[in-house]
A and B are shown apart, each in its own frame.
Chain A
Amino acid sequence: MAGGDGQVSHSLEKQFESFRVQLEESAALREQIRAVVMEIESATRLIQANLLLVHQSRPIPEVIEKAKEKIVDLKQYYGRLAEILEECPGQYYRYHGDWRSETQAVVSQLAFMHWLETGTLLVHTEAEEKLGLNSLEFGLETEDYLTGICFMSNDLPRYVVNRVTAGDYDCPRKVMNFLTDLHAAFRMLNLRNDFLRKKFDSMKYDLRRVEEVYYDVKIRGLISGGDPPGVQAVQGQS
Protein backbone atom coordinates (compact mmCIF):
# COMPACT_ATOMS: atom_id res chain seq x y z
CA MET A 1 0.00 0.00 0.00
CA ALA A 2 2.88 2.29 0.78
CA GLY A 3 3.99 1.99 -2.81
CA GLY A 4 0.49 2.93 -3.96
CA ASP A 5 0.40 6.05 -1.76
CA GLY A 6 3.75 7.06 -3.11
CA GLN A 7 2.41 6.91 -6.64
CA VAL A 8 -0.70 8.91 -5.81
CA SER A 9 1.16 11.65 -4.03
CA HIS A 10 3.70 11.73 -6.83
CA SER A 11 1.12 12.41 -9.53
CA LEU A 12 -0.57 14.93 -7.24
CA GLU A 13 2.72 16.76 -6.85
CA LYS A 14 3.32 16.58 -10.54
CA GLN A 15 -0.03 18.16 -11.30
CA PHE A 16 0.52 21.06 -8.97
CA GLU A 17 4.08 21.52 -10.11
CA SER A 18 2.78 21.80 -13.64
CA PHE A 19 0.17 24.29 -12.48
CA ARG A 20 2.84 26.35 -10.80
CA VAL A 21 4.83 26.55 -13.98
CA GLN A 22 1.81 27.45 -16.10
CA LEU A 23 0.57 30.08 -13.70
CA GLU A 24 4.00 31.63 -13.41
CA GLU A 25 4.11 31.90 -17.16
CA SER A 26 0.70 33.53 -17.35
CA ALA A 27 1.63 35.87 -14.49
CA ALA A 28 4.77 36.89 -16.35
CA LEU A 29 2.73 37.47 -19.45
CA ARG A 30 0.28 39.57 -17.45
CA GLU A 31 3.13 41.71 -16.21
CA GLN A 32 4.25 42.35 -19.75
CA ILE A 33 0.72 43.22 -20.75
CA ARG A 34 0.32 45.49 -17.74
CA ALA A 35 3.43 47.41 -18.66
CA VAL A 36 2.17 48.13 -22.16
CA VAL A 37 -1.33 48.94 -20.95
CA MET A 38 0.08 51.53 -18.57
CA GLU A 39 1.74 53.21 -21.53
CA ILE A 40 -1.57 53.17 -23.36
CA GLU A 41 -3.21 54.75 -20.34
CA SER A 42 -0.56 57.45 -20.16
CA ALA A 43 -0.88 58.32 -23.82
CA THR A 44 -4.67 58.41 -23.55
CA ARG A 45 -4.48 60.80 -20.62
CA LEU A 46 -2.26 63.11 -22.63
CA ILE A 47 -4.74 63.06 -25.48
CA GLN A 48 -7.54 63.74 -23.05
CA ALA A 49 -5.71 66.64 -21.44
CA ASN A 50 -5.18 68.13 -24.87
CA LEU A 51 -8.76 67.68 -25.98
CA LEU A 52 -9.96 69.36 -22.78
CA LEU A 53 -8.72 72.61 -24.25
CA VAL A 54 -11.71 72.76 -26.55
CA HIS A 55 -13.77 73.59 -23.48
CA GLN A 56 -11.68 76.72 -23.24
CA SER A 57 -12.36 77.61 -26.85
CA ARG A 58 -8.94 76.77 -28.17
CA PRO A 59 -9.20 76.37 -31.96
CA ILE A 60 -10.05 72.81 -32.86
CA PRO A 61 -7.37 72.16 -35.50
CA GLU A 62 -4.65 73.19 -33.08
CA VAL A 63 -5.96 70.96 -30.32
CA ILE A 64 -6.38 68.01 -32.63
CA GLU A 65 -2.88 68.36 -34.10
CA LYS A 66 -1.32 67.78 -30.72
CA ALA A 67 -3.64 64.93 -29.87
CA LYS A 68 -2.94 63.21 -33.18
CA GLU A 69 0.73 62.92 -32.37
CA LYS A 70 -0.17 60.58 -29.55
CA ILE A 71 -2.16 58.28 -31.80
CA VAL A 72 1.10 57.21 -33.40
CA ASP A 73 2.28 56.08 -29.98
CA LEU A 74 -0.98 54.28 -29.31
CA LYS A 75 -0.64 52.35 -32.54
CA GLN A 76 2.79 51.25 -31.42
CA TYR A 77 1.57 50.09 -28.02
CA TYR A 78 -1.29 48.08 -29.44
CA GLY A 79 1.18 46.52 -31.85
CA ARG A 80 3.27 45.41 -28.89
CA LEU A 81 0.22 44.02 -27.20
CA ALA A 82 -0.56 41.99 -30.29
CA GLU A 83 3.00 40.67 -30.32
CA ILE A 84 2.80 39.62 -26.71
CA LEU A 85 -0.45 37.80 -27.33
CA GLU A 86 1.09 35.98 -30.28
CA GLU A 87 3.14 34.05 -27.74
CA CYS A 88 -0.01 32.38 -26.51
CA PRO A 89 -2.39 31.96 -29.40
CA GLY A 90 -6.06 31.57 -28.66
CA GLN A 91 -5.90 33.34 -25.30
CA TYR A 92 -6.99 36.81 -26.35
CA TYR A 93 -10.10 36.63 -24.22
CA ARG A 94 -8.29 35.28 -21.24
CA TYR A 95 -6.32 38.48 -20.92
CA HIS A 96 -8.75 40.84 -22.60
CA GLY A 97 -9.87 42.28 -19.25
CA ASP A 98 -6.39 43.70 -18.78
CA TRP A 99 -6.85 46.22 -21.54
CA ARG A 100 -10.59 46.51 -21.73
CA SER A 101 -11.28 49.74 -19.84
CA GLU A 102 -8.19 51.44 -21.23
CA THR A 103 -9.31 50.61 -24.76
CA GLN A 104 -12.76 51.99 -24.05
CA ALA A 105 -11.13 55.24 -22.94
CA VAL A 106 -9.02 55.31 -26.11
CA VAL A 107 -12.06 54.87 -28.33
CA SER A 108 -13.86 57.61 -26.44
CA GLN A 109 -11.08 60.11 -27.06
CA LEU A 110 -10.62 59.11 -30.69
CA ALA A 111 -14.33 59.37 -31.34
CA PHE A 112 -14.51 62.81 -29.74
CA MET A 113 -11.57 63.97 -31.81
CA HIS A 114 -13.18 62.60 -34.94
CA TRP A 115 -16.45 64.33 -34.16
CA LEU A 116 -14.72 67.65 -33.53
CA GLU A 117 -13.07 67.36 -36.91
CA THR A 118 -15.92 66.03 -39.01
CA GLY A 119 -19.15 66.18 -37.05
CA THR A 120 -19.66 62.50 -37.72
CA LEU A 121 -19.31 59.28 -35.80
CA LEU A 122 -16.05 57.40 -35.90
CA VAL A 123 -17.04 53.94 -37.13
CA HIS A 124 -15.70 50.72 -35.74
CA THR A 125 -13.55 49.81 -38.70
CA GLU A 126 -12.01 53.27 -38.79
CA ALA A 127 -11.22 53.08 -35.10
CA GLU A 128 -9.57 49.73 -35.62
CA GLU A 129 -7.54 51.13 -38.45
CA LYS A 130 -6.36 54.14 -36.48
CA LEU A 131 -4.99 51.85 -33.81
CA GLY A 132 -3.42 49.47 -36.27
CA LEU A 133 -5.66 46.63 -35.19
CA ASN A 134 -7.30 44.04 -37.34
CA SER A 135 -10.18 41.82 -36.44
CA LEU A 136 -8.52 38.64 -37.65
CA GLU A 137 -5.61 38.66 -35.24
CA PHE A 138 -5.89 41.31 -32.54
CA GLY A 139 -8.96 43.42 -33.02
CA LEU A 140 -11.12 46.02 -31.38
CA GLU A 141 -13.91 44.35 -29.47
CA THR A 142 -17.29 45.58 -30.62
CA GLU A 143 -18.44 46.05 -27.03
CA ASP A 144 -15.35 48.07 -26.16
CA TYR A 145 -15.98 50.25 -29.17
CA LEU A 146 -19.63 50.79 -28.23
CA THR A 147 -18.79 51.54 -24.60
CA GLY A 148 -16.16 54.01 -25.75
CA ILE A 149 -18.76 55.76 -27.87
CA CYS A 150 -21.03 56.06 -24.83
CA PHE A 151 -18.20 57.64 -22.86
CA MET A 152 -17.77 60.15 -25.64
CA SER A 153 -21.43 61.03 -25.47
CA ASN A 154 -21.03 61.69 -21.73
CA ASP A 155 -18.60 64.51 -22.51
CA LEU A 156 -20.83 66.22 -25.05
CA PRO A 157 -23.18 68.12 -22.71
CA ARG A 158 -20.24 69.79 -21.04
CA TYR A 159 -18.84 70.75 -24.42
CA VAL A 160 -22.13 72.22 -25.55
CA VAL A 161 -22.52 74.26 -22.37
CA ASN A 162 -19.08 75.77 -22.74
CA ARG A 163 -19.50 76.49 -26.43
CA VAL A 164 -22.69 78.44 -25.73
CA THR A 165 -20.97 80.41 -22.97
CA ALA A 166 -18.34 81.27 -25.55
CA GLY A 167 -21.01 82.51 -27.95
CA ASP A 168 -21.31 79.55 -30.31
CA TYR A 169 -25.08 79.20 -30.46
CA ASP A 170 -25.05 76.79 -33.33
CA CYS A 171 -23.36 74.04 -31.39
CA PRO A 172 -26.39 72.78 -29.43
CA ARG A 173 -28.34 72.06 -32.59
CA LYS A 174 -25.47 70.18 -34.18
CA VAL A 175 -24.79 68.11 -31.10
CA MET A 176 -28.46 67.45 -30.53
CA ASN A 177 -28.91 66.12 -34.04
CA PHE A 178 -25.82 63.98 -33.74
CA LEU A 179 -26.78 62.53 -30.37
CA THR A 180 -30.38 61.93 -31.44
CA ASP A 181 -29.18 59.86 -34.39
CA LEU A 182 -26.63 58.08 -32.25
CA HIS A 183 -29.15 57.24 -29.57
CA ALA A 184 -31.63 56.00 -32.14
CA ALA A 185 -28.97 53.79 -33.68
CA PHE A 186 -28.08 52.35 -30.30
CA ARG A 187 -31.72 51.51 -29.69
CA MET A 188 -31.54 49.06 -32.54
CA LEU A 189 -29.25 46.97 -30.40
CA ASN A 190 -30.88 44.59 -28.03
CA LEU A 191 -28.72 45.26 -25.01
CA ARG A 192 -28.94 43.16 -21.91
CA ASN A 193 -28.54 44.45 -18.38
CA ASP A 194 -24.82 44.83 -18.34
CA PHE A 195 -22.28 47.61 -18.21
CA LEU A 196 -22.85 48.63 -21.81
CA ARG A 197 -26.57 48.82 -21.21
CA LYS A 198 -26.00 51.17 -18.28
CA LYS A 199 -23.71 53.36 -20.37
CA PHE A 200 -26.35 53.46 -23.08
CA ASP A 201 -28.91 54.55 -20.54
CA SER A 202 -26.68 57.42 -19.49
CA MET A 203 -26.65 58.58 -23.12
CA LYS A 204 -30.34 59.30 -22.76
CA TYR A 205 -29.56 61.80 -20.03
CA ASP A 206 -26.79 63.35 -22.09
CA LEU A 207 -29.24 63.83 -24.93
CA ARG A 208 -31.83 65.34 -22.64
CA ARG A 209 -29.39 67.87 -21.25
CA VAL A 210 -28.26 68.87 -24.72
CA GLU A 211 -31.90 69.31 -25.71
CA GLU A 212 -32.45 71.55 -22.69
CA VAL A 213 -29.49 73.70 -23.66
CA TYR A 214 -30.80 73.87 -27.21
CA TYR A 215 -34.24 75.04 -26.08
CA ASP A 216 -32.67 77.54 -23.68
CA VAL A 217 -30.77 79.03 -26.55
CA LYS A 218 -33.66 78.88 -28.96
CA ILE A 219 -36.36 80.52 -26.87
CA ARG A 220 -34.08 83.43 -26.23
CA GLY A 221 -33.72 83.95 -29.93
CA LEU A 222 -30.01 83.43 -29.82
CA ILE A 223 -29.86 81.02 -32.70
CA SER A 224 -30.64 83.68 -35.27
CA GLY A 225 -27.40 85.32 -34.22
CA GLY A 226 -26.30 87.94 -31.74
CA ASP A 227 -25.74 87.90 -28.00
CA PRO A 228 -28.50 87.56 -25.45
CA PRO A 229 -30.04 90.88 -24.31
CA GLY A 230 -28.58 90.40 -20.82
CA VAL A 231 -25.02 90.27 -22.13
CA GLN A 232 -25.61 93.30 -24.30
CA ALA A 233 -26.85 95.21 -21.30
CA VAL A 234 -23.89 94.21 -19.18
CA GLN A 235 -21.51 95.18 -21.93
CA GLY A 236 -23.31 98.50 -22.16
CA GLN A 237 -22.84 99.04 -18.44
CA SER A 238 -19.15 98.28 -18.28
Chain B
Amino acid sequence: MLLYGRLSKDNKEEVLEKAGKDLEAVRDQHFARLMKELQGTDFWKLRRAYSPGVQEYVEAATFYKFCLSGTLCTLDEINTTLVPLSDPSLEPLQINILDYILGLADLTGELMRMAIGRISDGEIEFAQRICQFVRQIHRELMLVVPKMDDSYDMKSKMEVMLQSVIKIENACFSVHVRGLEYIPLLGDNAPTSYLLGAADVE
Protein backbone atom coordinates (compact mmCIF):
# COMPACT_ATOMS: atom_id res chain seq x y z
CA MET B 1 0.00 0.00 0.00
CA LEU B 2 2.93 2.30 0.64
CA LEU B 3 3.81 2.05 -3.01
CA TYR B 4 0.61 3.76 -4.00
CA GLY B 5 1.50 6.80 -1.98
CA ARG B 6 4.32 7.39 -4.41
CA LEU B 7 2.16 6.95 -7.42
CA SER B 8 2.11 9.93 -9.71
CA LYS B 9 1.57 10.40 -13.39
CA ASP B 10 5.29 10.16 -14.08
CA ASN B 11 6.10 6.86 -12.47
CA LYS B 12 2.66 5.36 -12.88
CA GLU B 13 3.62 2.46 -15.10
CA GLU B 14 6.56 1.25 -13.13
CA VAL B 15 4.86 1.61 -9.75
CA LEU B 16 1.81 -0.26 -10.96
CA GLU B 17 3.95 -3.02 -12.38
CA LYS B 18 5.73 -3.50 -9.09
CA ALA B 19 2.43 -3.37 -7.21
CA GLY B 20 0.95 -5.97 -9.50
CA LYS B 21 3.88 -8.27 -8.82
CA ASP B 22 3.61 -7.74 -5.07
CA LEU B 23 -0.06 -8.60 -5.14
CA GLU B 24 0.69 -11.76 -7.02
CA ALA B 25 3.31 -12.64 -4.45
CA VAL B 26 0.84 -12.18 -1.62
CA ARG B 27 -1.60 -14.38 -3.45
CA ASP B 28 0.81 -17.10 -4.27
CA GLN B 29 2.52 -17.28 -0.94
CA HIS B 30 0.16 -16.24 1.79
CA PHE B 31 -3.16 -17.21 0.31
CA ALA B 32 -1.89 -20.59 -0.71
CA ARG B 33 -0.69 -21.18 2.84
CA LEU B 34 -3.97 -19.99 4.24
CA MET B 35 -5.81 -22.42 2.06
CA LYS B 36 -3.65 -25.30 3.20
CA GLU B 37 -4.24 -24.42 6.83
CA LEU B 38 -7.97 -24.16 6.38
CA GLN B 39 -8.30 -27.36 4.45
CA GLY B 40 -10.99 -29.58 5.73
CA THR B 41 -12.58 -26.98 7.99
CA ASP B 42 -15.54 -24.83 7.35
CA PHE B 43 -14.36 -21.46 6.02
CA TRP B 44 -17.00 -19.63 7.99
CA LYS B 45 -16.01 -21.28 11.22
CA LEU B 46 -12.52 -19.81 11.32
CA ARG B 47 -13.40 -16.57 9.54
CA ARG B 48 -12.61 -14.38 12.51
CA ALA B 49 -9.01 -15.51 12.41
CA TYR B 50 -8.30 -14.62 8.81
CA SER B 51 -10.88 -11.96 8.08
CA PRO B 52 -8.77 -8.84 8.76
CA GLY B 53 -5.99 -10.10 6.52
CA VAL B 54 -8.43 -10.88 3.76
CA GLN B 55 -9.98 -7.45 4.08
CA GLU B 56 -6.56 -5.85 3.66
CA TYR B 57 -6.01 -7.96 0.58
CA VAL B 58 -9.34 -6.87 -0.87
CA GLU B 59 -8.43 -3.26 -0.15
CA ALA B 60 -5.08 -3.66 -1.91
CA ALA B 61 -6.48 -5.57 -4.88
CA THR B 62 -9.31 -3.13 -5.52
CA PHE B 63 -6.98 -0.18 -5.09
CA TYR B 64 -4.61 -1.69 -7.63
CA LYS B 65 -7.42 -2.33 -10.10
CA PHE B 66 -8.67 1.22 -9.74
CA CYS B 67 -5.23 2.71 -10.36
CA LEU B 68 -4.91 0.48 -13.39
CA SER B 69 -8.27 0.99 -15.03
CA GLY B 70 -10.44 3.28 -12.94
CA THR B 71 -12.90 0.49 -12.36
CA LEU B 72 -13.93 -1.64 -9.44
CA CYS B 73 -12.52 -5.13 -9.13
CA THR B 74 -15.56 -7.25 -8.41
CA LEU B 75 -15.73 -10.04 -5.86
CA ASP B 76 -16.02 -12.60 -8.64
CA GLU B 77 -12.93 -11.22 -10.31
CA ILE B 78 -10.89 -11.48 -7.13
CA ASN B 79 -12.12 -14.97 -6.38
CA THR B 80 -11.29 -16.14 -9.85
CA THR B 81 -7.66 -15.26 -9.24
CA LEU B 82 -7.65 -17.35 -6.09
CA VAL B 83 -8.97 -20.54 -7.59
CA PRO B 84 -5.73 -21.66 -9.28
CA LEU B 85 -3.93 -21.51 -5.94
CA SER B 86 -5.51 -24.52 -4.42
CA ASP B 87 -5.42 -28.15 -5.30
CA PRO B 88 -8.10 -28.81 -7.91
CA SER B 89 -9.47 -31.60 -5.79
CA LEU B 90 -10.07 -29.32 -2.83
CA GLU B 91 -12.50 -26.52 -2.31
CA PRO B 92 -10.72 -23.24 -3.04
CA LEU B 93 -10.82 -20.47 -0.49
CA GLN B 94 -13.21 -17.89 -1.78
CA ILE B 95 -13.56 -14.49 -0.23
CA ASN B 96 -17.05 -14.01 1.10
CA ILE B 97 -19.33 -11.04 0.61
CA LEU B 98 -18.82 -9.65 4.08
CA ASP B 99 -15.04 -9.49 3.91
CA TYR B 100 -15.22 -8.02 0.43
CA ILE B 101 -17.54 -5.24 1.53
CA LEU B 102 -15.46 -4.49 4.61
CA GLY B 103 -12.33 -4.31 2.45
CA LEU B 104 -14.14 -1.99 0.07
CA ALA B 105 -14.91 0.39 2.91
CA ASP B 106 -11.22 0.67 3.74
CA LEU B 107 -10.45 1.24 0.07
CA THR B 108 -12.41 4.47 0.04
CA GLY B 109 -10.22 5.90 2.81
CA GLU B 110 -7.08 5.21 0.77
CA LEU B 111 -8.64 6.70 -2.31
CA MET B 112 -9.48 9.80 -0.37
CA ARG B 113 -5.88 10.24 0.65
CA MET B 114 -4.79 9.68 -2.91
CA ALA B 115 -7.32 12.18 -4.24
CA ILE B 116 -6.11 14.89 -1.89
CA GLY B 117 -2.54 14.05 -2.88
CA ARG B 118 -3.36 14.18 -6.60
CA ILE B 119 -4.88 17.59 -6.17
CA SER B 120 -1.73 18.94 -4.60
CA ASP B 121 0.12 17.68 -7.66
CA GLY B 122 -2.33 19.51 -9.86
CA GLU B 123 -4.04 16.38 -11.18
CA ILE B 124 -7.57 17.62 -10.71
CA GLU B 125 -9.26 15.30 -13.15
CA PHE B 126 -8.04 12.19 -11.47
CA ALA B 127 -9.34 13.53 -8.18
CA GLN B 128 -12.72 14.11 -9.76
CA ARG B 129 -12.77 10.56 -11.09
CA ILE B 130 -12.01 9.30 -7.62
CA CYS B 131 -14.81 11.51 -6.31
CA GLN B 132 -17.33 9.97 -8.68
CA PHE B 133 -16.11 6.47 -7.94
CA VAL B 134 -16.23 6.79 -4.17
CA ARG B 135 -19.65 8.45 -4.32
CA GLN B 136 -20.95 5.55 -6.31
CA ILE B 137 -19.54 2.96 -3.93
CA HIS B 138 -20.97 4.81 -0.94
CA ARG B 139 -24.36 5.00 -2.54
CA GLU B 140 -24.46 1.34 -3.49
CA LEU B 141 -23.22 0.21 -0.11
CA MET B 142 -25.80 2.36 1.65
CA LEU B 143 -28.52 0.05 0.44
CA VAL B 144 -26.67 -3.16 1.10
CA VAL B 145 -24.98 -2.60 4.45
CA PRO B 146 -28.04 -2.63 6.72
CA LYS B 147 -28.71 -6.18 5.63
CA MET B 148 -25.27 -7.45 6.59
CA ASP B 149 -24.57 -9.72 9.54
CA ASP B 150 -23.14 -7.77 12.49
CA SER B 151 -23.62 -4.57 10.59
CA TYR B 152 -22.44 -2.50 13.54
CA ASP B 153 -18.81 -2.31 12.40
CA MET B 154 -19.85 -1.61 8.89
CA LYS B 155 -22.18 1.18 9.98
CA SER B 156 -19.33 3.14 11.51
CA LYS B 157 -17.25 2.46 8.40
CA MET B 158 -20.07 3.95 6.38
CA GLU B 159 -19.88 7.13 8.40
CA VAL B 160 -16.14 7.30 7.88
CA MET B 161 -16.72 6.65 4.19
CA LEU B 162 -19.16 9.53 3.96
CA GLN B 163 -16.58 11.78 5.60
CA SER B 164 -14.05 10.66 2.99
CA VAL B 165 -16.51 11.46 0.22
CA ILE B 166 -17.15 14.88 1.72
CA LYS B 167 -13.43 15.59 2.04
CA ILE B 168 -12.87 14.75 -1.59
CA GLU B 169 -15.86 16.85 -2.64
CA ASN B 170 -14.59 19.78 -0.59
CA ALA B 171 -11.15 19.50 -2.16
CA CYS B 172 -12.64 19.44 -5.67
CA PHE B 173 -14.74 22.43 -4.69
CA SER B 174 -11.73 24.38 -3.46
CA VAL B 175 -9.81 23.67 -6.62
CA HIS B 176 -12.73 24.68 -8.78
CA VAL B 177 -13.36 27.94 -7.01
CA ARG B 178 -9.80 28.96 -6.39
CA GLY B 179 -8.37 27.43 -9.49
CA LEU B 180 -4.67 27.80 -9.98
CA GLU B 181 -4.23 29.92 -6.90
CA TYR B 182 -5.12 26.91 -4.75
CA ILE B 183 -2.58 24.37 -5.84
CA PRO B 184 0.61 26.19 -4.86
CA LEU B 185 -1.10 26.97 -1.52
CA LEU B 186 -1.23 23.28 -0.71
CA GLY B 187 2.44 22.90 -1.47
CA ASP B 188 3.42 25.86 0.73
CA ASN B 189 1.80 24.42 3.83
CA ALA B 190 -0.28 27.55 3.98
CA PRO B 191 -3.21 27.45 6.43
CA THR B 192 -5.53 24.82 5.07
CA SER B 193 -8.98 25.80 4.10
CA TYR B 194 -11.73 25.30 6.68
CA LEU B 195 -13.24 22.93 4.18
CA LEU B 196 -10.42 20.41 4.28
CA GLY B 197 -10.29 20.49 8.04
CA ALA B 198 -7.34 19.84 10.28
CA ALA B 199 -8.07 16.13 10.37
CA ASP B 200 -6.41 15.72 7.00
CA VAL B 201 -2.99 16.12 8.54
CA GLU B 202 -2.86 12.47 9.56
Name A's B-contacting residues (CB within 8 A): 41-42, 45-46, 48-49, 52-53, 55-56, 158, 161-162, 164-165, 209, 212-213, 216-217, 220, 222, 228-234
Contact between B179 and A231, CB atoms less than 8 A apart: yes
Chain B interface size, as a band, is 20 to 34
Q: Which residues of A contact B182 (CB under 8 A)?
A: 230
- Chain A's closest residue to B178 (CB) is A230
In residues 175-202 of chain B, which contact A (Cβ within 8 Å)? 175-182, 194-195
| Docked-complex contact B176 and A164, CB < 8 angstroms | yes
Please tell me if the beta carbons of A55 and B135 are within 8 angstroms of each other in the complex: yes
Q: Do B179 and A233 touch across chains, with their CB atoms under 8 A apart?
A: yes
* B135 partner residues in chain A, CB cutoff 8 A: 52, 55-56
Question: Which of B166, B172, B177, B180 is within 8 Å of A216, CB to CB?
Answer: B177
Q: Which residue of B lies closest to A212 (CB)?
A: B194
CB-based nearest B residue for A56: B135
Please state if B142 and A228 are interface contacts (CB–CB under 8 Å). Answer: no
A234 partner residues in chain B, CB cutoff 8 A:
124, 179-180
Smallest CB-CB separation from A208: which chain B residue?
B194
Known: A162-B169, A165-B172, A165-B177. 12 other contacts (CB 8 A): A53-B139, A55-B135, A56-B135, A213-B173, A216-B177, A220-B178, A228-B176, A228-B178, A229-B179, A232-B179, A233-B180, A234-B179
A234 to B146, CA, bound (A): 42
Using CB atoms, name the residue of chain B closest to A50: B139
Q: How far is the CA of A196 from the CA of B169 in the complex (A)?
A: 28
Q: Which of B124, B142, B180 has the most CB of A within 10 A?
A: B180
* Chain A residues near B177 (CB-CB < 8 A): 164-165, 216-217, 220, 222, 228, 230
**In the assembled complex, which residues on chain B have CB atoms less than 8 Å from the CB atom of A164?**
173, 176-177
A230-B178, A230-B180, A230-B182 known; A46 vs B143 contact (CB < 8 Å): yes
| CB-based closest 8 A-B pairs | A230-B179, A230-B180, A161-B173, A165-B173, A165-B176, A228-B179, A165-B172, A52-B139
Roughly how many angstroms separate A220 CA and B139 CA in the complex, as a whole number? 33
Which residue from A53, A158, A212, A231 sits with its C-beta under 8 Å from B176?
A: A231
Residues on A with beta carbons closer than 8 Å to the beta carbon of B195: 161, 212
Q: Quick check: is B170 within 8 A (CB to CB) of the other chain?
A: yes
For A220, the closest partner residue in chain B by CB is B177
Q: How far is the CA of A42 from the CA of B145 in the complex (A)?
A: 11
A46, B177: Cα distance in complex, Å: 32
Asked if B71 is an interface residue, CB under 8 A from chain A, the answer is no
Smallest CB gap from A161: residue in B: B173
Min distance, Cβ A218 to any Cβ of chain B, angstroms = 11
**Which residues of A lie under 8 Å from residue B146 when comparing CB positions?**
41-42, 45
Are B142 and A162 in contact, with the CB atoms below 8 A? no
What are 15 A-B pairs with beta-carbon distances under 8 A? A41-B146, A45-B142, A49-B142, A52-B135, A52-B139, A56-B135, A161-B169, A164-B173, A165-B176, A209-B194, A212-B195, A222-B177, A228-B177, A232-B179, A233-B180
